[in-house]
Amino acid sequence: MTLVRWTHGFSSECLLKGSVLTIGNFDGLHHGHCRIVSAAVQQASMVGLPSVALTFDPHPSTIISPLNSPRLLMTLDEKLIFLNKLGVNYGWALMFSQSISELSPKNFMEALVTSVMPESIHVGEGFRFGYRRSGSSDFMLEWGKVHGIHVVTYPLEHLDGEPISSSRIRLLLNEGNIVKATQLLGRPYSLSGTVIAGFKRGRSLGFPTANLKTDLILPKSGVYITSVRSLMWEGEKLGLTNIGIQPTFKDGDLTVETHCPDGFGDWYGSHLQLDFLYRIRDEKKFDSSEDLQIQILKDIDEGKQWWTQAHR
């Protein structure tokens, strides 16, 4: 996939003379997103044109409503890697700015057409754009009819009667409902980042942990079974990941700490990916470090049993 990054708004120059375009924030690239992107990729293959996925960086809410901007489900790099796996030819990361937010729906559409000359545009029915989000998929449909561009809109996907959306997945993560979030995403929720130095309390207890630095949304505080991946080894390792403030010692900042029962090393500065598979329990304050050690051993035993069962 070819990456295109424009940092000063839409370019006045034509990027592509013909394309099949899909547009969205695509945060998390859940089932509904994947359906739209895959349809655009398939259409591009049928008509012999490159597929383009336009997304925005940063998330538009950070400009439009910074106080209410949500923590994201994936980084831009993770999003682009996933779009590449879906077969997109061009990943278009457009820097979202105040000037972009103030474009009228008409000017926004004209800028799109100038940039990639789309044969067709594929969006979800809830897609909003332009000044004060005044542009809608219905506006895009009518605009496309006038200008000879086929616009395809897709209704919101549902699972068990509930909508599949990024905001719904965030709510599930806040509740610690990893299983349901996995169903809506179509894969486990992942966190990836750099291992940083911590207080080494896990090591002093006999259970060394890797502290992960990330800016993404965190699941509800508690202990989780995770799959741990790194370039340092092949495949995946069982991880027991604690998200919390370490109340047994002293309430502190929220941390993400992972212990791998089957092997640990000096991972500082390394990049890890955690896939959240199952929630074991809430975070709890223990009366002593010895009581905490006993509970960690129970957590490890439960994690190993779950891991063995899941890999049969």
Q: Tell the residue number behind the tokens 């383009």, with chain if given.
A: 52
**Confidence at residue 185, expressed as pLDDT on a 0 to 100 scale:** 96
On whether the CB atoms of residues 225 and 240 are closer than 8 A, the answer is yes
Q: Which uninterrupted H or E stretch holds 77?
A: helix 76-85
What are the sequence ranges of the domains in the chain? 2-157, 188-310
Fold of 2-157: Rossmann fold (3.40.50)
Per residue in 231-251, pLDDT (tens digit) is 888 999 999 999 998 765 565
199 — pLDDT class (breaks 50, 70, 90): low
Q: Do you know the residue count of the chain?
A: 312
Strand, helix or coil for residue 60: coil
Question: What is the tens place of the pLDDT at every residue in 12-31?
Answer: 778 899 999 999 999 999 99
Mean predicted confidence (pLDDT) in 147-162: 94
For 110, the token pair is 């004209």
10 φ, ψ to 5°? -65, 140
Q: Are both 2-157 and 188-310 of the same fold?
A: no
User: Whole-angstrom Cα distance, residue 269 to residue 195?
Assistant: 5
Q: Report pLDDT for 28.
A: 97
Question: Mean pLDDT across the stretch 162-166?
Answer: 93
Which tokens hold the place of 281?
């329990």
Res 204: pLDDT: 56
Q: Looking at residue 18, what DSSP letter applies?
A: S
pTM of the model: 0.92
What fold characterizes domain 188-310? Elongation Factor Tu (Ef-tu); domain 3 (2.40.30)
Q: How sure is the predictor about 207, in pLDDT bands with cuts at 50, 70 and 90?
A: confident
